[in-house]
Chains A and B, each alone.
Chain A
């Protein structure tokens, strides 16, 4: 990472969801306001990052970034490979301590020590045990993270299109099917904020639609999501408004 950080742009797109066809309903005007610090009459944001930055060995990875995410919004973080998207999500989840700035979750400071039931991270690795079945993996997730009301592991697996795979060891599933099991985990845990790192990777067209549907449902429930993508297969149904942001200043 010895090159000029200016050459690593990362853009942040905000989609405020009001309709199932969610990509086109981004409120660019509102977003600009949010970017400049917001208005005082804004409701309390679910997630608020101010001056957030991260450096690895004195090399800036991203930031400083300012953004707010309200309930019912999906934020798309777009950037080239190496622009710090994954690092941003890891910082927001609390896995990494931010280099500078602050993250506030529901108005409370997010520190390494205080992790609430509110954040769910879908990382590059699916976080599944290959020797266990999808159901056993989901049971473990419920035990460790809790369970959202009104859904069962069977229902969650069915809604990601894995009906009939409940008892098949995860090692026999394809990469896309493993991704779907991870998505089922997101459905089960009671997190208000989803941090999805490249959720579209490894998925077929139907799977991409599935991710979009899940994001839509999450927003309607009053949750929010941050989604990273290098931009290849996002929003096949609409063209969201994008607001480019210099990630590293």
Chain B
């Protein structure tokens, strides 16, 4: 008999989800492509005037990334719910919040991280001053995991429903709005040469809290959804 530790169970979840992403690597690029498409449209609609674009660029980048994240959110538990692997996960003797935390981590790694990687390109397309780039990346590094964690709780609540897309957006937006405000606020402050540490610290505090609480909330929501 070999029961395995909590760590080995989490490793199994991470390994499987990474492998699944690799098998469908074309789909994994979708959020990043979506963000690029959205950002490309803005100069076309607003005119290519660098000063005007630079003023609103940080906001556009964050909105594009937030929407791209929303697009990818649905895939977090949908497949697992449809093929029954979610039930198996819930039945595992290991703590469900830990297993779900691993799933969310992989989800961030495969959707959030690519968005951070394309962010400098997006910023360049919108003439964001290069001096603002560190603030943008720092804000994204804190904001995208938060979006994944908040989103996971909402997805867990809606996973048992059909056509839950609109409901998911309604549930998730109130949680995303503060993240957007603080993240874009940090960039705007940096752009105007003001101190931008405070909003980043708020994001960091929220992330620390969400890292602990969101997987638990997610587990509770999932148990309700599958019953």
In contact, B4 and A131 (Cβ under 8 angstroms): no
Which residue in A95, A116, A131, A144 is a CB contact (below 8 Å) of B227?
Answer: A95
Which residue in A117, A125, A140, A141 is a CB contact (below 8 Å) of B84?
Answer: A125
In contact, A125 and B87 (Cβ under 8 angstroms): yes
Q: How many residues of B contact A (CB 8 A)?
A: 32
In the complex, chain B residues whose CB is within 8 Å of the CB of A149: 1-2
Binds A, one of B15-23, B131-139, B161-169: B15-23
Residue B211 at the A interface, CB < 8 A? no
In contact, B8 and A128 (Cβ under 8 angstroms): no
Contact with B along A46-84 (1 / 0, CB 8 A): 000000000000000000000000000000000000000
Known: A123-B87, A131-B24, A149-B2. A143 touches B11 (CB 8 A): yes
Residue A45 at the B interface, CB < 8 A? no
Residue B44 at the A interface, CB < 8 A? no
Which residue in A94, A96, A121, A146 is a CB contact (below 8 Å) of B2?
Answer: A146
Residue B78 at the A interface, CB < 8 A? no
CA distance A74 to B17 in the complex (A): 35
In contact, B4 and A95 (Cβ under 8 angstroms): no
In contact, B20 and A131 (Cβ under 8 angstroms): yes
Which residue in B2, B9, B23 is a CB contact (below 8 Å) of A144?
Answer: B9
Known: A112-B223, A143-B9. A129 touches B20 (CB 8 A): yes
In the complex, chain A residues whose CB is within 8 Å of the CB of B83: 125-130
In contact, A127 and B1 (Cβ under 8 angstroms): no
CA distance A190 to B8 in the complex (A): 16
Which residue in B12, B23, B85, B92 is a CB contact (below 8 Å) of A139?
Answer: B12
Residue of B nearest to A140 (CB): B16
Q: How many residues of A contact B (CB 8 A)?
A: 36
Near A by CB (< 8 A), chain B positions 142-164 give: none
In contact, B16 and A136 (Cβ under 8 angstroms): yes
In contact, B87 and A121 (Cβ under 8 angstroms): yes
CA distance A149 to B1 in the complex (A): 4
Residue of A nearest to B11 (CB): A143
In contact, B12 and A115 (Cβ under 8 angstroms): no
Near B by CB (< 8 A), chain A positions 88-109 give: 90, 93-97
CA distance A121 to B92 in the complex (A): 10
Residue A165 at the B interface, CB < 8 A? no
Contact with A along B43-82 (1 / 0, CB 8 A): 0000000000000000000000000000000000001001
Residue A132 at the B interface, CB < 8 A? yes
Which residue in B1, B79, B90 is a CB contact (below 8 Å) of A147?
Answer: B1
Residue B91 at the A interface, CB < 8 A? yes
Contact with B along A123-159 (1 / 0, CB 8 A): 1111111111000100111111111110000000000
Interface residues of A (CB under 8 A from B): 90, 93-97, 112, 115-117, 119-121, 123-132, 136, 139-149, 190
Interface residues of B (CB under 8 A from A): 1-4, 8-9, 11-13, 15-16, 19-20, 23-24, 79, 82-85, 87-94, 99, 223, 226-227
9 nearest A-B pairs in the assembled complex, by CB-CB distance: A143-B12, A125-B84, A127-B84, A146-B3, A131-B23, A147-B2, A127-B88, A140-B16, A144-B92
